[in-house]
Structure 1
Amino acid sequence: MRYYALARPERRVLVARDGDDIFDLPSANPDVEGYFDLVRAARITNQSVERVARGLLDEAEEVAPEELTGRLGRPAVPEEVWAAGVTYRISEKAREAESGMPDVYVDVYERERPELFFKATGSRTVGPGDAVGVREDSAWNVPEPELGIVLHRGDIVGYTIGNDVSSRSIEGTNPLYLPQAKVYERCCSIGPCITPPGTVGDPHDLGMAMTIERDGEVVYDEATSTSEMVVTCEELVSYYTRHNVVPETAVLLTGTALVPDEDFTLRRGDEVRIEIEGIGVLENSVTVV
């Protein structure tokens, strides 16, 4: 199953999609307001998330399929979003190109310890169909499509799609400006759903694609695979949780392998479409913040 949040006027509704069937889980139990409520119930009862959800289906109201083509909310609002960098060769090359200090990125790519950095609080994230932001004081801004690891108390409980929007001109000036290049209003999108580990399959062998449209024309269209990562999801989580007081809920983005050419920058009104096999499609427009 995959888990979505419908953005209804009166409330956010957690729904489970099982093939062609879609179920309103709070209609069966109002205490199940979000995906992490399922995770907590699974931990308490020593069951899988899937088994807990299936126990609600007989009493849950069915949802019309067209509702999933309408307004979706964030499938989870994590307390923290972190991200990894230089986990793909192309990312390392792109970071070298943008920086006057390229050696720092080569050093990270070739070492055991990954680059991890704080990306966003929940309030800085947006969901499917909403607008991601680019900084007004940055001349070079790019989307970064990434597999997102959904964590509960440091344990992997699912996967999602993330867009780690980045201000390359700011980071390229000096690597110490990384927080300003990464952390700002609308700097990250998450969605469209959460797929549990048992459903997504091998997270290290998923097709990933990104398309960017501008004024109705495709200006970027490339694809890759998470098999190109030089570290595993488990290794990234291990470094994230080491000597760290992690929040109850978090998303850890795993780095990007799709990087537009150096002469490309996002503009207001662009449409970014990211697809990851086994999860779905995350679509966002672009605004300036």
Structure 2
Amino acid sequence: MLPNNNHASEGTFVGRVWRPGIGPAIVTLRGDQVIDITSKTAPTMRDLLELADPIAYVRDTEGTVIATLPDLSSASVEGAGKDDLRILAPCDLQAVKACGVTFAESMVERVIEEQAAGDADRAEEIRAKVKERIGDSLSGITPGSDKAMEVKKILIAEGLWSQYLEVGIGPDAEVFSKAQPMSSMGCGAAVGLHPISNWNNPEPEIVLAVNSRGEIKGAALGNDVNLRDVEGRSALLLGKAKDNNASCAIGPFVRLFDDSYGMEQVETAELTLKVTGEDGFILNGHSSMTKISRKPADLARQTCGRHHQYPDGFFLFLGTLFAPIQDRDNPGQGFTHKVGDLVEISEPNLGTLTNTVRLSTECPEWTFGTSALMRNLAGRGLL
């Protein structure tokens, strides 16, 4: 679940765990012990990240041992009950935002989705045509630069201009709402696909933890579950394609920025993806943050500022290089999920986020929202 290299063992990890008979707890890791550090100072992850020095709070709070990490990991499975010990998504009151089309290579796949109008059967033909015209001309372009604007003119003249290229190489990043506060899934839980979708995939991403002041305090792994056919039919269906029951996973924990881990490590992160199907199919993928077209800090600035405030902070998906084209069933149809797929997203400094794919209509209904959290914390004397 967590990295076992020496560099990572120096890190400061925080997260959220459901404690039976109690409710959500803010935890940190000390060796293989999971420590509950919930207090009136930091009853929520939002409050912890708002502190002037979250590292000092985590270090100085004695807390209570609630489990070992191996035991917590074993308990955090798809079938865990509502009041069973398990890992929760590390965010709570924060908005969950996401940036799209931040990598040139995945940008081409978004164009293909649009040209195919969500039809996977047409994708391979269009992929060959688009790549013949575009090639690698988008690689290394700085969005909003003079060179980017020159490429834009060429693409318009060739009839290949797309709304995805606009946000990919134009001055303004795509930032959308991925999930509602309190709705994200944690490590071990099921992730959901809307049943209307027949062409979809995981998206392995780095997720920044940002407070209300726009300060980036740490990072985690995320799966921005993507419905390629729904979004491909129309960009106006983005909300339907992205925000569904159990369609967002974050975790397993947030690694706070300190002397051992920071933006340099985020910008050089190498993510790996493995999808293992019940049909024996295995997909291996990769996303390198070194190839991102926009700086992560700039994406955070475009999300939060004088133009838009987030009083409870936000978690920000940074996008992915990964776009699967490996055929799973019929030739030319590429990859799509099947119910029962096991998705593992890993990064050496952040660990592994594991989830099982189900339909959104089959995943447990989301019932514990913000009002439930406030009542729970008040009942525990934490508010």
Q: What TM-score comes out, normalization by structure 2 length?
A: 0.68
Instruction: Please give the alpha-carbon distance, in whole angstroms, between the structure 2 residues aligned to 1:22 and 1:130.
Output: 19
Q: Is the 8 A contact 2:269 2:289 kept in 1?
A: yes
- Secondary structure at the counterpart of residue 200 of structure 1: coil
Q: Is the 8 A contact 1:159 1:200 kept in 2?
A: no
Deviation at 1:35, TM superposition (A): 2.9
Pairs within 5 Å for 1:4-153: 4-10=15-21, 11-26=23-38, 29=39, 31-40=41-50, 42-43=51-52, 48-57=53-62, 60-61=64-65, 63-69=67-73, 70-71=75-76, 72-100=87-115, 103-153=162-212
Deviation at 1:224, TM superposition (A): 3.1
Deviation at 1:216, TM superposition (A): 6.8
- Secondary structure at the counterpart of residue 147 of structure 1: strand
Instruction: Please give the alpha-carbon distance, in whole angstroms, between the structure 1 residues aligned to 2:341 and 2:43.
Output: 33
Q: Deviations over 1:94-125 (max 9, x none)?
A: 10111127622223222232111111102432
Deviation at 1:19, TM superposition (A): 4.3
Pairing partner for 1:236 from 299, 305, 325: 299
Pairing partner for 2:349 from 275, 278, 281: 278
Instruction: Please give the alpha-carbon distance, in whole angstroms, between the structure 2 residues aligned to 1:181 and 1:175.
Output: 9
Partner residue in 2 for 1:193 = 253
Q: Is the 8 A contact 1:2 1:16 kept in 2?
A: yes
Q: How well do the aligned residues superpose, as a CA RMSD in angstroms?
A: 2.1
**Identity of counterpart residues, as a percentage?**
26
Partner residue in 2 for 1:248 = 312
Pairs within 5 Å for 1:148-227: 148-153=207-212, 154-198=214-258, 199-201=260-262, 202=264, 203-215=266-278, 217-227=280-290
Unaligned runs of 5+ in 2: 1-11, 77-86, 116-159, 326-332, 361-383
Moved more, 16-25 or 267-276: 16-25
Q: What is the one-letter code of the residue matched to 2:323? A: V
Instruction: Please give the alpha-carbon distance, in whole angstroms, between the structure 2 residues aligned to 1:35 and 1:67.
Output: 22
Instruction: Please give the alpha-carbon distance, in whole angstroms, between the structure 1 residues aligned to 2:66 and 2:240.
Output: 44
Q: Deviations over 1:125-164 (max 9, x none)?
A: 2111111111111121111111101111032121111111
> How many residue pairs end up in the alignment?
281
Instruction: Please give the alpha-carbon distance, in whole angstroms, between the structure 2 residues aligned to 1:97 and 1:187.
Output: 23
Instruction: Please give the alpha-carbon distance, in whole angstroms, between the structure 2 residues aligned to 1:78 and 1:280.
Output: 24
Moved more, 85-94 or 15-24: 15-24
Instruction: Please give the alpha-carbon distance, in whole angstroms, between the structure 1 residues aligned to 2:352 and 2:40.
Output: 28
Pairs within 5 Å for 1:252-271: 252-261=316-325, 263-271=334-342
Moved more, 278-287 or 7-16: 7-16
Deviation at 1:22, TM superposition (A): 4.0
- Secondary structure at the counterpart of residue 244 of structure 1: coil
Unaligned runs of 5+ in 1: none
Instruction: Give the structure with the higher percent strand.
Output: 1
Deviation at 1:180, TM superposition (A): 1.4
| Greater gyration radius | 2
Taking a change above 3 Å as real, the CA distance of residues 61 and 138 of structure 1, as seen in their structure-2 partners, is closer
Q: Is the 8 A contact 2:91 2:315 kept in 1?
A: no
Instruction: Please give the alpha-carbon distance, in whole angstroms, between the structure 2 residues aligned to 1:204 and 1:167.
Output: 27
